[in-house]
Amino acid sequence: MSHTSWWAEEPSWVQRMAFAAAIVRGPRVPWRTRRKAASMGSSVIPAFRYRDARAAIDFLVEAFGFEPKLVVEGDDGSIEHAQLQHGTGMVMLGSIRDDEYGRLLAHGDRVVPSGAVYVVVPDVHAHAEHARAAGAEIVTEPEEQDYGGADYTARDPEGVIWSFGSYDPWADQSGE
């Protein structure tokens, strides 16, 4: 079996040229997608469901400094979808609901956080004091880390763990 056996029959000259052009050009990506990719933040965006998504949005804005970019209300007043930005990062959230995705997140009768979010901030100590003043539960105080920078950890009113630190793994990768 040859390496070109994935073609049903011997490729034509046109197919060979198209294949060669694709290798040189790379995958075909619509121009709008390419343009958007250059301006987007992180390609990893945490997503959450909250019992009271409206209160969660208010808390994340007030305590942690997120900025709402999009909030879509459902007919029943729930939050269908929200996007909150912090620097070049973003989280998405919505109200807990009994749908396919919601059932994936459920543990019995409630959604239980099973991870944490790390957010880069320029001044860890000032951020922690602001979050504390806004009612955040600080579960680990700001502390210098052996790998660089400082961080602290807070828990939001529904139990999601948020870590904020000055260590920026992107800067480390770029040699800054």
Walk along the chain (176 residues) in steps of 10 and give the mean pLDDT of each run: 42 49 44 44 86 96 97 94 95 89 69 75 97 96 92 92 91 60
What pLDDT sits at residue 147?
Answer: 83
Asked whether the beta carbons of 81 and 56 are under 8 A apart, the reply is no
Q: What is the pTM of this model?
A: 0.69
CATH code reported for the domain at 40-173:
3.10.180.10
Which residue carries 């390609």 as its tokens? 43
Which residue carries 């034509």 as its tokens? 12
One DSSP character per residue, 135-159 reads T-EEEEEEEE-TTSSEEEEEE-TTS
- Domains in the chain: boundaries: 40-173
What pLDDT sits at residue 41?
Answer: 73
Asked whether the beta carbons of 66 and 92 are under 8 A apart, the reply is no
What pLDDT sits at residue 119?
Answer: 95
